[in-house]
Amino acid sequence: EQDNNKANGAEEIQWLVLRQEGDELLLISVLGLDTLPYARGKETSDWEHSAIREWLNTTFYQTAFSAEERAVIVEKTVFQDENEDYPHTRQGNDTLDHVFLLSSREYEEYMKTSNNIAPESCYGTPSRYAVKQGASLYNDLYCWWWLRTSSRSNDIACTVSPYGVFDPNSSSIRSTKVMVRPAMWVKVG
């Protein structure tokens, strides 16, 4: 659901191609699809143990895609890059995922500094559904969105600001106002 009108059914997700490697494409959703906390409860969390990772690879994966679509989504090793701003923060183990969030390094490399990606693609453009779910709007236009990289501690995860600036200090992992822009690799051809 993206237009927040369940009566007209779910809308197809629009995807932005970030990279091609052989017969695989790295995609990210054009819009922020929902707002979810990175983690729940009192414990700290890295990507491996995050509630958002679990949601992306179970609920979202099963409901957003048909069986035919799931057949072309590649299960990939998701590497936990060091946060250059906070190198002592433990990032957790690499994981095997169908759907994930970009890391701060992937964001910088594939989106922010890419000559193939328009700067406004980095903005946090929310779906109407994400706004209804509580996405924190800035200037009534754009929102922050999650990256999988931990920040100065495992209580804080990195985000991208509404206007596409990487924020290494970012948001509490329990925030319910930050959007989710799922990413995945798909096999083509």
* pTM of the complete model beyond 0.95: no
d(CA 65, CA 62): 6
Q: Which residues of the chain have pLDDT under 50?
A: none
Q: What pLDDT is stored for residue 42 in this prediction?
A: 74
Q: What pLDDT is stored for residue 111 in this prediction?
A: 93
Look at residues 186, 171, 178, 188 and name the one whose alpha carbon lies nearest to residue 74: 186
Q: What pLDDT is stored for residue 20 in this prediction?
A: 95
- For residue 82, which phi and psi values (nearest 5 degrees)? -65, 140
Q: What pLDDT is stored for residue 181 in this prediction?
A: 97
